[in-house]
Amino acid sequence: MKKLNLRSKKIEQEVLKNYKINSPSKLPLENKKYFKEYILKREKLFRDCLKLPKEVFKNKKILDFGSGTGEHDILYAQWGGKLDLVEINPISVNQTKKYFKIFKLDKKINKISNTSIFDYSSKQKYDIVISEGVLHHTNNPKLGFDKLIKNLKKDGFCILQLAFDYSHFQRSLHRYIINYLSINNSSSNVVKICNKLFSETINRALKFGGRSKKQIIYDFYTNPKHKGINLGDIFKWFKKNNVKYYSSYPSIEPEGLINGLHTNVANEFINSFPSMTVFQSINFLLASMNDEMYFKKIIKDSQKNAKMWSKFMKNSNLGDFENKKYNFKKYNLNKNLNDYLNNLEKILRNRNDLQIKSIKIFTQEFNKLNKVLLTKDINKIKLTINQFKLLFKGYNGVPSNYIVGYKTK
């Protein structure tokens, strides 16, 4: 019989060994400027992106699976949460305890369990359960999720941060290439190859993440387990555990859904048709830069279009029939509406062209990569990668995904 529902203690120990050399989560909270920006970013993530303002945490019982060095938990405590933390790495547990003393928040921790999430059990139920950056480092993320969710109260929120397989694809390719080129998979060998081939990605993470180069490399490249998780599978885990999709960042919802309240609104629509996440998944796979830059031209077009619409409303007077000044003969309604609609069509075409062009470039570069890999010549591979426009550039696909659900039963 296939043992589908098993954990792998071996992998848990290997991941732990890797993280003991370098904790992936430690952030410089002691730096006041950094801490201030960190608070703003986390508040923005929860309130603006995940629709969970910090007030939601007040007096709530919170369980954090794989809490790392406790940086996130400091904020949940400051927001009024009462915490139970589970973390396998004793070094990180000690760092967490230090933080809570420094911030005088010790009383906000109910319990820190220095154990694997797979060994954790509790009679308590929680209002909020969280696991950030953990499940994809285990052999059985589904089992990890089941363990987490069984502690959640009805109507409680479950907050997950992981990498969807689309998002993770480019980074998975990095790992594949390193493995392919390695004589052995020793850390020093991995570090050498990733520094040679993927320094642009590492330096970008260094610039934006607040972590050291070594932390980034040990979290990502030397880590024995880092897998992308299928979004459809997550919806199956949700369904089995009576969890309804609530929010996500980046959003998995198709843009501009206008379903009325008598039918599926956005989160229900995605619950009913998880495959409709396909439109966003294209971006998860291809993302190389912020959309603001990517859509530069379209932003300009949209501003022009908004002006055209305002002018049209004013001149046609179609927003206000009561106005006596309306002159049917003088204003060419037909022509002006057609001009406006043509402009709309152009905007849509520009946007789609941009995405189709990206898919084409991505395909070409992926094929080139496959070809050059056959040479096993690291200098040639580096040269080819350096010439890419999209593959392994900037974001390298969306670096991580947040998804929130709530328990209905």
- Which residues lie near ligand SAM (CB under 6 A)? 12, 15, 19, 24-25, 66-68, 71-72, 86-89, 92, 116-118, 132-134, 137-138, 219
**Shortest distance, position 390 Cβ to ligand SAM, whole Å:** 27
**Shortest distance, position 339 Cβ to ligand SAM, whole Å:** 51
For ligand SAM, the closer of residues 108 and 312 by Cβ is 108
What sign does the CA torsion over 109, 117, 400, 186 have? positive
For ligand SAM, the closer of residues 15 and 83 by Cβ is 15
For ligand SAM, the closer of residues 87 and 301 by Cβ is 87
**Shortest distance, position 373 Cβ to ligand SAM, whole Å:** 29
**Shortest distance, position 154 Cβ to ligand SAM, whole Å:** 25
For residue 137, what are its two tokens?
């480092």
For residue 232, what are its two tokens?
């459809």
For ligand SAM, the closer of residues 17 and 300 by Cβ is 17
For residue 78, what are its two tokens?
């400051």
- Residue 184: CB atoms within 10 Å: 7
For residue 136, what are its two tokens?
């994809």
Residues 188, 209: Cα–Cα separation, whole Å: 23
For residue 109, what are its two tokens?
């921790």
- Residue 163: CB atoms within 10 Å: 23
Angle between helices 378-387 and 187-197 (to 10 degrees): 40
Residues for the chain: how many in total?
409
Using DSSP, state whether 256 is helix, strand or coil.
Answer: coil
The structure tokens 């052999």 sit at: 139
For ligand SAM, the closer of residues 234 and 266 by Cβ is 234
Using DSSP, state whether 115 is helix, strand or coil.
Answer: coil
For ligand SAM, the closer of residues 135 and 231 by Cβ is 135
Residues 107, 105: Cα–Cα separation, whole Å: 5
**Shortest distance, position 214 Cβ to ligand SAM, whole Å:** 14
**Shortest distance, position 326 Cβ to ligand SAM, whole Å:** 60
Instruction: Give the residue nearest to ligand SAM (CB).
Output: 68
**Shortest distance, position 144 Cβ to ligand SAM, whole Å:** 7
Residues 352, 1: Cα–Cα separation, whole Å: 48
For ligand SAM, the closer of residues 228 and 274 by Cβ is 228
How would you class 83 by CB atoms within 10 Å of its CB: exposed for 0-12, middle for 13-18, buried for 19 or more?
buried
Question: Please, which residues have CB within 8 angstroms of residue 302's CB and are 6 or more apart in sequence?
Answer: 347
Residues 336, 342: Cα–Cα separation, whole Å: 10
**Shortest distance, position 61 Cβ to ligand SAM, whole Å:** 18
For ligand SAM, the closer of residues 29 and 86 by Cβ is 86
For ligand SAM, the closer of residues 151 and 384 by Cβ is 151
**Terminal Cα-to-Cα distance of the chain (whole angstroms):** 32
- The answer to whether the CB of 380 falls within 8 A of the CB of 364 is no
**Shortest distance, position 219 Cβ to ligand SAM, whole Å:** 6
